[in-house]
Chains A and B, each alone.
Chain A
């Protein structure tokens, strides 16, 4: 008895040992698979279909990184994480990368020892209510019951917002978006609050989306950024520049349609450096010369991914807004590739 307990503990310890310090890139390469922490299910961002194939805006980041590192966008293992479990999953080494509607905040960056790579969606917190409730502004929500996902920044913003406006509310805490959706539909809360993009994605999955309105107020800044563990600079660079490669590709007009043509060489030296026909940026982050080509080929450039997963032509119907290229008046801005 004593012995078996001891050996059990020993095995458990051996499994957890050796996490820290190891280079994530080597782990991913030797495993032949990227382990990516995603949402437990938010249509448009990360959700499995009937066959268990994951797709969405966040999933595209996982696939682009897998393509850049392993050369194959399908070599990803998806680990669904809730608002509560995501940071533990990343910190303990259960996942290599967290691409999961996670807001970049000061304390998460510093105290939680995460490294946010690059904002891939500029978001803000909003509210959704039933149309027949007659509410047209968040300022009218005094005394309301509000469903809120626990362990999120939205939980804190909500408290701040109601305090600042001298209103009261009854928090109904839920563990995941699915639970929040179910509680909201069952009438257990008057309003559901989360990132505006999340609200749009949630509403798109409703049977009668038209019966629900998203209120105009945006009460916070929510820069959503994929995150990695602090202390592995090379891995941080790989994920960060893969995202920038997708954003830059849109700016330079590199799409999944013309990339094979452009990869042979162009007049634009910046595009040449990005696609590996000039210089060797890939080697600087420990990857192949054509890492960016593989990443962009996975699902197209940033604009293509946006349009295919959450854009205006999809049921989720999000406008580019702040997430347009800087050349179009948005905030999407990839640093120079040189």
Chain B
């Protein structure tokens, strides 16, 4: 009985790092890693050296200094006595606001277009194809510029709404006496309460208690409605007959809010031309609308393609089965196809949301001051803190992107196909 000879025992030789395929890849990775780190260290050292030579330092104390400039469309209270940090916050909130509204609009348009592009109606399907191809193939900056050019050229200046002293008439009249389109902004009525519950001072912005009360009541109504529907489902399971719910739901959702609103004396405050501009209502600036439209329409074209791909990924058998059960086409789409398509749609959709948010920095082209305009524009320029401002801006955009994809991944995990 002879045992098979073992492989010759050999010690580890240094040359194996190069000639032995087991180690070679590791060697290469280690070398590349060292080179990359060395390069990075050299770059950082270079920056420090150059800053030293220029006599500059790296600190963020400028964020506490008085900003001294005004921002046209601040959502939270802001004036030029506040700090650069506050201006940063104003810009950040503007970025988040336009991105949020953009994502909502792009999703709605995208889903509708994506579904309609698969329509059996030749005309509808072709129109949607044209929309997708046109918007997808032209840079988003151009769409934003087209939107602002249209808004500026089509509407009259606020001056046109003034009553002429001689003729007693104005050149332009407001829509329903409450909305005025101008080449700068759209003046819309704002909400005014006759009786105020006061306001709650928070660090960010004062919150009207009236508004807060309405929101709380609405949330409570929705919660009660949900309980009622659960109860109805139980009754249906027990007896086979579903109690009539629609009017109860409508009542519980609408009545409390309306009653409270009237109790607080709600009424619209209509914009009026006074001096150069409209006052009283809310002025929605054209730069904001142009940016929002441009971003939404552009991203919607991509979302439409994603939705179409998602729907096409579902086997035709699913539709046939649904039809065989007697479901109509629209119910088949909303109950059978779309829910399954979502698991294909969500991951690429996350990328589109991220793109839209990053593209919002193109606002600089239309003078809408978001993060890039405040921190990366005026603050950077007035303080000369390029490196700090750009670093901060990169970190903020990174944080926003990671948050969006984090939230969307949670949602994705909830809707994706669960295999048991």
Contacts and interface: CB of A to CB of B under 8 A. Distances in A.
Interface of A: 2-3, 5-6, 9-10, 13, 16-17, 19-21, 83-84, 87-88, 91, 107-108, 111-113, 133, 141-145, 150-151, 155-156, 158-160, 163, 169-175, 183, 186-190, 229-231
A21 to B, nearest CB: 5
B68 A160 contact: yes
A17 B53 CA distance: 12
Given A84-B381, A173-B378, 11 more contacts: A6-B36, A9-B40, A13-B42, A84-B377, A91-B384, A155-B378, A156-B68, A160-B68, A172-B184, A183-B367, A188-B184
Nearest to A135: B276
Given A19-B50, A88-B386, A150 B55 contact: no
Contacts of B152: 186-188
Contacts of A9: 39-40, 43
A52 B383 CA distance: 34
B225 interface: no
B183 A188 contact: yes
B100 interface: no
Contacts of B382: 151, 155-156
Contacts of B276: 141, 143-145, 190
Interface string B311-328: 000000000000000000
B377 A151 contact: yes
Contacts of B39: 6, 9-10, 13
A172 B80 contact: no
Contacts of A151: 377-378, 381-382
B68 A159 contact: yes
The listed residue with most B CB atoms (<10 A of its CB), out of A91, A144, A160, A171, is: A171
A230 B54 contact: yes
B73 to A, nearest CB: 9
Nearest to A108: B384
B30 interface: no
Rank and list the top 3 A-B pairs by shortest CB-CB distance, nearest first.
Answer: A20-B53, A151-B381, A112-B384
B290 to A, nearest CB: 12
B49 interface: yes
A2 B55 contact: no
Contacts of B274: 143
B395 interface: no
A84 B43 CA distance: 25
Interface string B54-89: 111000000000001111100000001000000000
B156 to A, nearest CB: 8
A5 B69 CA distance: 40
Interface in B357-393: 364-365, 367, 369, 373, 377-378, 380-384, 386
B405 interface: no
A136 to B, nearest CB: 15
Contacts of A91: 54, 384, 386
Contact of B71 (A3, A19, A171): A171
A173 B72 contact: yes
Given A150-B378, A190-B276, A174 B367 contact: yes
Nearest to A172: B367
B207 to A, nearest CB: 24
B146 to A, nearest CB: 15
B53 A159 contact: no
9 contacts: A6-B35, A16-B50, A20-B49, A83-B381, A87-B381, A151-B381, A156-B68, A173-B369, A230-B54
A151 B382 CA distance: 6
A113 B72 contact: no
A87 B277 contact: no
Given A20-B50, A111-B384, A144-B275, A171 B72 contact: yes
B46 interface: yes
Given A112-B384, A143-B279, A171 B50 contact: no
B55 A172 contact: no
B157 interface: yes
B36 A2 contact: yes
B284 interface: no
A186 B184 CA distance: 10
A17 B46 contact: yes
Given A13-B42, A159-B69, A159-B80, A186 B153 contact: yes
B213 interface: no
B205 interface: no
B32 interface: yes
A145 B159 CA distance: 12
Contacts of A84: 377, 380-381
Contacts of A150: 373, 377-378, 381
Contacts of A145: 184, 276-277
Contact of A155 (B69, B153, B157): B69
A21 B53 contact: yes
B56 A113 contact: yes
Nearest to A147: B367
B47 to A, nearest CB: 9
Contacts of B380: 84
A188 B386 CA distance: 30
B373 A173 contact: yes
Interface string B192-227: 000000000000000000000000000000000000
Contacts of B275: 142-144
A87 B384 contact: yes
A175 B365 CA distance: 8
A230 B55 contact: yes
Contacts of A175: 364-365, 367
A159 B70 contact: yes
Contacts of B36: 2, 5-6
Contacts of B32: 2-3, 6
Interface in B169-197: 183-184
Nearest to B367: A173
Contacts of A172: 72, 184, 367
Contact of A187 (B68, B70, B157, B383): B157
A322 B121 CA distance: 74
